[in-house]
Chain A
Amino acid sequence: MAVDGNNDTQSLPLFVPQKWNREEGGHFFHTDEGGDVSLGKGNHPAPSRMNNVPGVITGKLDDLIAMGRSNSLWTLTFGLACCAIEMISTHMAHHDLDRFGIVTWPSPRQADVMIIAGTVVKKMAEPIRLLYEQMPDPKWVIAMGTCATSGGPYYKSYSVVMGVDHIIPVDIYVPGCPPRPEALMDAFMKLQSKIKSDAKNHQIDDLSTSSVIAEMTTDGTVPPANASREEPTG
């Protein structure tokens, strides 16, 4: 498995997945750089010198920046399985996502949102981790479909990671198999409101209260934006 000093030019090693290690609380593998989750999360990058500036000025600026960020989310083209087809359908002309400023971008270095659309297989776990770490802050993750949320119909399988939140932190979960395009649009609406409210409330490390579950609409209607929005508790 070790690849240093190996003259086999066929393999391009990135990470070497260790055995599924249950005692360590569900982490699938450890990277060499140390630390499993990057310091910055969601709306706020790692602390900077601006933290000492009086809050009156930066408060309004935060709102403005959050509004700008939420209205031009660039998603990483990352369709894994069946949910990818519904994701493509959502981007296309009928349920247009471009009108919200959301475009797909193939490079992770310029993307804001990563939509995990499809089943996460253990072999794919390290590329997902690598892509997540290649995305610059601020970044968000939407887990689309039941496979990405919790393993889905492949719950008993030997080669599936039961939910992508064992590997990367997730902001929005979208249930469905596959979720309707309207459900994915609702996820984006909730992500936009989450970005704005996170900026107002300066959420940094509190992941558990800032994950929101998007609604799965079964009759094709999108619930009104204020109806069931859960305010993250400070």
Chain B
Amino acid sequence: MTAQDPQAAPAEKPVRHGPPIVIAEEVLNERGEETAAQLARTLGPLALESAGREDNPWARVDAKELHAVAKECRDGEMGMDMLNLMLAVDWIDRIQMIYVLYSTTNNRKVILKADLPADAPAIDSLSDLWEAATWYEREAHDLFGVDFPGNRDMSPLLLYEGFEGHPGLKSYPLNDYEEW
């Protein structure tokens, strides 16, 4: 049911048969509410959408504002001095970048999301804010094809030189291996 047929059109959402899909409710607990309030103060009107689960609030911002927002999170009252995780999710029609920020002084975590178009995904690099972003961005470039202008070194990190295609995308044929 979820077999990826190489002959089919590459960008097909996998069809899931079975019981109806349940959407999880996102409920913040008390500490999460405080962090969400701080985040709302920091982002102001730039937050397009926000919710959260347990004590991790998330907010979706526009891709062009992300660098400014992240800088404000780092230098402002939130004091997010560590970029804990950066990942890309391929939602076929768009690629979503997710940034998990953590503050060692306040012990709070927030998640920032930004949507990028699927055909030419590009977003400003955060490597001037946190050194950790350099390698995360190289990995996202390798696996998803996202471009990061501003990162000083975009050579392949995980894949060998000359690898064609971006294997993290859903359209990359995974089971295309034939035994000799």
Binding site for B on A (CB under 8 A): 1, 16-17, 19, 22, 25-26, 122-123, 155-159, 162
Show 13 A/B contacts (Cβ-Cβ < 8 Å), sorted by A: A1-B161, A1-B162, A19-B164, A22-B180, A123-B159, A123-B160, A156-B175, A158-B167, A158-B172, A159-B159, A159-B167, A162-B177, A162-B179
Question: Which residues 117-159 in B have Cβ within 8 Å of A in the complex?
Answer: 159
Chain B residues with CB below 8 A from A26, complex form: 180
Chain A residues with CB below 8 A from B162, complex form: 1, 16-17, 19
Chain A residue at minimal CB-CB distance from B180? A26
Chain A residues with CB below 8 A from B160, complex form: 17, 122-123
Q: How far is the CB of A9 from chain B (nearest CB, A)?
A: 14
Chain A residue at minimal CB-CB distance from B179? A162
A-B contacts at CB below 8 angstroms, number? 28
- Distance A19 CA – B178 CA, assembled complex (angstroms): 15
Chain A residues with CB below 8 A from B174, complex form: 156-158
Chain B residues with CB below 8 A from A19, complex form: 162, 164
Chain A residue at minimal CB-CB distance from B161? A1
- Distance A158 CA – B167 CA, assembled complex (angstroms): 7
Chain B residues with CB below 8 A from A158, complex form: 167, 172, 174
- The interface on chain B, measured as residues whose beta carbon lies within 8 A of the other chain's beta carbons, has a size of 14
- Distance A162 CA – B178 CA, assembled complex (angstroms): 10
Beta-carbon contact of A156 and B161 below 8 Å: no
- Distance A22 CA – B178 CA, assembled complex (angstroms): 9
Chain B residue at minimal CB-CB distance from A158? B167
- Distance A133 CA – B164 CA, assembled complex (angstroms): 28
Chain B residue at minimal CB-CB distance from A121? B160
Q: How far is the CB of B120 from chain A (nearest CB, A)?
A: 23
Q: How far is the CB of B81 from chain A (nearest CB, A)?
A: 31
5 interchain residue pairs of minimum CB distance: A123-B160, A26-B180, A158-B167, A156-B175, A1-B162
Chain B residue at minimal CB-CB distance from A166? B180
- Distance A26 CA – B162 CA, assembled complex (angstroms): 19
Q: How far is the CB of A1 from chain B (nearest CB, A)?
A: 5
- Distance A155 CA – B175 CA, assembled complex (angstroms): 9
- Distance A178 CA – B161 CA, assembled complex (angstroms): 30
Chain B residue at minimal CB-CB distance from A17? B160
- Distance A122 CA – B160 CA, assembled complex (angstroms): 8
Chain B residues with CB below 8 A from A16, complex form: 161-162
- Distance A156 CA – B6 CA, assembled complex (angstroms): 14
Chain B residues with CB below 8 A from A123, complex form: 159-160
- Distance A17 CA – B163 CA, assembled complex (angstroms): 9
